[in-house]
Amino acid sequence: MPLLDPDPAALRPAADTPVADDRVPPELAEGTPEPLRHDLTELLGAEQVLWRVTDLVSYASDASPYRFVPNVVVVARHADDVAAVLGYARRHGRHVVFRAGGTSLNGQAQGEDILVDVRRHWAGVTPLDGGARARILPGTTVQRANAALARHGRVLGPDPASAIAATLGGVVANNASGMTAGTTRSSYRTATSMTIVLPSGTVVDTAAPDADAALTAAEPDLVAGLSALRREILADTALTARIRAKHRLKNTNGYRLDAFLDSDSPTGILRSLMVGSQGTLGFLAEIVMETLPLHRHVLAGLLFFPSLAAAAAAVPRFTAAGAPAVELMDGNTLRASVAVDGVPADWADLPPGTTALLVEFRAPDEAAAEAARVAAEELLTEVELVAPVASVTNAFTTDRAVIGGYWKARKAFVTAVGGARPPGTTLITEDFAVPPERLSEACEALLELQERHGFDAAVAGHAAHGNLHFLLAFDAADPADVERYAAFMAEFCDLTVDRFDGSLKAEHATGRNIAPFLEQEWGATATDLMWRIKQLLDPTGVLAPRVVLDRDPRAHLRGLKSIPTVEAEADPCIECGFCEPVCPSRDLTTTPRQRIVLRREMMRQPAGSDVGENLLADYGYAAVDTCAGDSGCRVACPVGIDTGAMMKEFRSRRHSGRQERAATAAARRFAVLERAARLAVSAAATAGDTVSGKATALARRAVSHELVPQWLPGMPPAAGPLPRTPREGATAVYYPACVNRIFGEPEGLTGSLPLPRAVVALALRADRPVWVPEDVAGTCCATIWHSKGYEGGNTLMANRVIEAAWRWTDHGRLPLVVDASSCTLGLAEEVVPYLTEANRERHAQLTVLDSLQWVVDQLLPRLAVNHPVESAVVHPTCSMQHLGDEDALRQIAEACAGEAVVPLDATCCGFAGDRGMLHEELTASATAREAAEVTARPFDAHLSANRMCEIGMEQATGRPYHSALIALERATRPAGPAPGGA
């Protein structure tokens, strides 16, 4: 074992943690049992079979209140893999469940046998007919698909709130809709064709010219059965009328029986049946969707009414005026939301009956937007409003920041309730639909029912469609609390069906929670038809048992997950999975959700259990070491959890006293280390990649894989000396980050200045000169220590640099401009908790600016572009996202190039300071999709604004990434011959 490798035992949970009844059983301690593991490895290959107990636990939870531990996880690469697994399952009497984004709210993405991951290798969008249609792979998120379509001025019809993480396969399989889709823009209406892998293994492309003939030849009994069911349904006029009536409302409960009414061809019926089938009838390997115009002009207003009834009465007026989104928030929701940052505090004092509507219009141009505004404000004179809307004038706005605030308030419903629920409770998100004209009555009835059963009473939803949402928090480990939940659900179903003839599931699909109540809504005849559909398509019952159809009246109480208390940072996690698409390690080890899920399972286990010990042994690498610590998860998380910060704290726990003292000593002598690092980089460049790589590999084996970076091929040379600048007349203090004082620029930038000289030159050119302090050596933003969890070194350096900045900036008179985005973030925000009281007061008076934003605000308007290149590709960093200056990078790139491209798959590169040199596999995995996009075509420049991220992207693409400020300096040189090659 290396001398200073971390101690896994430091992450062991407290011994007094209560043992949970739903803990992973001892027989799974060694992972997937034989012969299952061997069989699937032989069938698919070792890389496609995830069998360790860590893998099984990681996939055991989704966004629902349920938890089922699979026996094995298979990572399918293509339709042949899926067919092979289904064939194996049929032969051996096993069950298969498909999982992509894991955002399903009712356990549709969980299984107890073979779980097939169809996210990792299933992302891709191909716009067709100029974007009028799109061919989409099922692991593609809605947000990613819409980003590709936006370039064509188009958008998908379904718009679920989980668009950041929900994948198209799950959206179509659940017929998820969202705030504007209703019944006309849903997947059922917009999915024009699909490629389906049936439980038998037959692959059906419903768009093929001979699709019906091919299906008849391959599956004659299936075709005959579908035709017979259609004749039977058409012959029952009462049933056909009932089916049509049920689907006038949003309804995702059960199978789409209207499939038999809307098509007379076998493949047409099959295509429609797959929508909303929740993975129980087949696998959607590819989907072709009709798209809709993307109306970029948005107008919205947040309106307050004195009562639910008054708000509900206004809804049809706005929908008739063309508003595609009318969102309702009752008074309890508004008052609870004040706990969320950005929500006005005075909402806590709103009168009890106050109800809000968020009304949004979308228009193709400014004239249409203005017409919508006039019509909407005229409507306001006819309805009863209360403060804070004082008048109808300017009640609607086109300001995107304000509109974003409105939507944050609307989405705060989940944030406030989910984040503030009592420790140890699980969260259920339910939805239902009633006739829109009975919206107010349904809201009041639901609130009364929640209050009577002891749940927090609050309701919100898509009022335009009569679609309401509510949340329930209860303790699944407490039998009495489970019975309270069961009593509520029974009454809720009675209320929805008997009083309102509503849909028990409007957009979240049946799932395990409503399966026992399916017949209550649909009746015996229709429900029997659904059972026969399942038997016809899946006669051996291979796919997703008990997800849609279950005759056990208490099935919804089976598999409810306990929520053991974990670290305070992670305890609010609702396991929704919104964090996963932005996580650099998502395709390598674990995601933020999985890191928390694994931690919770450790807490469930008794002290010393084999399951717990094996999870602990894996956790160091799978969770802690391969976390980039970029905290992008915090931005995506609806309850604001920073799993990256928790992993940094775990790194700190694993340090010995000896390591902490060494790190503090390194901070104290950083000037010496900085010079040594520059010399080492220079020597390594001279020695060559092979020698340097072998030397660092040897040191890593001897000392620590977590402390000694690996020298990577193609690393940049050492930086040159900093430019000398006068202090007199300076408009800002320029702080070159330590990485830019150690590493120089990539090879091939002939004619370009090194970054520090480029910044100084730009400032002089714009008549905004800067001063570079002579004593910057030995200072750092402290991120080096912060990211590794070295508290002593972090504290020492944080205070040292702020004291220096206070002196450099003349006690805050001049701004401090920083040339690396991660270092800007460190100096502006991350150092604060580690400062002394005196230095915290100094910090509050400093103005710390990222060089990008400073250049856009102060220099760019004063510069003339004389030498633009034709094209540039841009890599925004995770730090830029936190700072909010991604747009500044884009503006600079657009100034430098005729075409500036931000890759659709651009995310955190995972290099994370030196983490990409400690675990180069992390950067390789994190950048795979972005690198494929970048290398698919040539660019004249490859731009970012953080040297270590640039090195990471160079490693990933083989292209010379450099600061956008270097490119700007080249582009704005006085007119004359163009600079040398870029």
Alpha carbon dihedral 964, 969, 973, 978, in 10-degree steps, equals: -50
Looking at residue 387, its pLDDT comes to 63
The amino acid present at 604, given as its one-letter code, is R
**What is the average pLDDT score of the chain?**
93
Residue 570 sits at φ, ψ, to 5 deg, of: -95, -15
Is 335 a member of any domain?
yes
Regarding whether 841 and 879 lie in a shared domain, the answer is no
Regarding whether 467 and 323 lie in a shared domain, the answer is yes
Regarding whether 813 and 715 lie in a shared domain, the answer is yes
What confidence tens digit (pLDDT) does each residue in 908-962 have? 999 998 899 899 999 999 999 999 999 999 999 999 999 999 999 999 999 999 9
Q: Do the beta carbons of residue 314 and residue 305 sit within 8 Å?
A: yes
Is 119 a member of any domain?
no
**What 3 state SS string does 64-119 have?**
CCEECCCCEEEECCCHHHHHHHHHHHHHHCCCEEEECCCCCCCCCCCCCCEEEECC
Mean pLDDT of 512-541: 97
Regarding whether 806 and 872 lie in a shared domain, the answer is no
- The boundaries of the domain holding residue 949 are 863-971
Mean pLDDT of 483-507: 97
Q: What's the rounded Cα separation, in Å, for the pair 855 and 863? A: 10
Is 433 a member of any domain?
yes
Q: Which of 65-79, 333-347, 663-677, 762-776 has the lowest mean pLDDT?
A: 333-347
Regarding whether 893 and 812 lie in a shared domain, the answer is no
Is 931 a member of any domain?
yes
Give 282-305 as a DSSP string: -EEEEEEEE-EE---EEEEEEEEE
Regarding whether 745 and 691 lie in a shared domain, the answer is yes
Is 334 a member of any domain?
yes
Q: What's the rounded Cα separation, in Å, for the pair 59 and 72? A: 9
Looking at residue 388, its pLDDT comes to 54
Beta bridge partners, 361, equal 299
The amino acid present at 463, given as its one-letter code, is A
CATH of the domain at 931: 3.40.50
Regarding whether 940 and 908 lie in a shared domain, the answer is yes
Beta bridge partners, 359, equal 301, 326
Is 708 a member of any domain?
yes
Looking at residue 638, its pLDDT comes to 85
Looking at residue 745, its pLDDT comes to 87
Angle at which helices 308-320 and 366-380 cross, to 10°: 140
List Cβ neighbours of 829 (8 Å cut-off, separation of 6 or more): 882
What confidence tens digit (pLDDT) does each residue in 886-908 have? 999 999 999 999 999 999 999 99
Percentage of residues in the chain having pLDDT higher than 90: 80
Q: What's the rounded Cα separation, in Å, for the pair 385 and 314? A: 10
CATH of the domain at 468: 3.40.462.10
Residue 172 pLDDT > 90: yes
Please give the tally of structural domains in the chain. Answer: 3
Confidence of residue 2 (pLDDT cuts 50, 70, 90): low
Residue 389 pLDDT > 60: no
Regarding whether 877 and 771 lie in a shared domain, the answer is no
What confidence tens digit (pLDDT) does each residue in 292-320 have? 999 999 999 999 999 999 999 999 999 99
Mean pLDDT of 465-494: 95
Q: Which of 73-77, 336-340, 421-425 has the lowest mean pLDDT?
A: 336-340
Regarding whether 768 and 681 lie in a shared domain, the answer is yes
Q: Is the peptide bond before 723 cis (omega within 30 degrees of 0)?
A: no
**Among 857, 883, 915, where does a domain finish?**
857
Give 447-471 as a DSSP string: HHHHHHTTS----EEEGGGTEEEEE
Q: Is 235 helix (H, G, I), strand (E, B) or coil?
A: helix
pTM of the full predicted structure?
A: 0.95
Regarding whether 871 and 789 lie in a shared domain, the answer is no
Residue 393 pLDDT > 60: no
Residue 769 pLDDT > 70: yes
Is 655 a member of any domain?
no
Residue 981 pLDDT > 70: no
Taking alpha carbons only, the member of 702, 700, 706, 736 closest to residue 721 is 736
Regarding whether 867 and 727 lie in a shared domain, the answer is no
Regarding whether 333 and 347 lie in a shared domain, the answer is yes
Is 316 a member of any domain?
yes
List Cβ neighbours of 231 (8 Å cut-off, separation of 6 or more): none
Mean pLDDT of 547-565: 96
Tokens read off for 56: 């099984």
**Among 508, 534, 549, where does a domain finish?**
508
What confidence tens digit (pLDDT) does each residue in 223-281 have? 999 999 999 999 999 999 999 999 999 999 999 999 999 999 999 999 999 999 999 99
Q: What's the rounded Cα separation, in Å, for the pair 519 and 515? A: 8
**Among 471, 487, 508, where does a domain finish?**
508
Residue 390 pLDDT > 70: no
Residue 784, judged by CB atoms within 10 A of its CB (0-12, 13-18, 19+), counts as buried
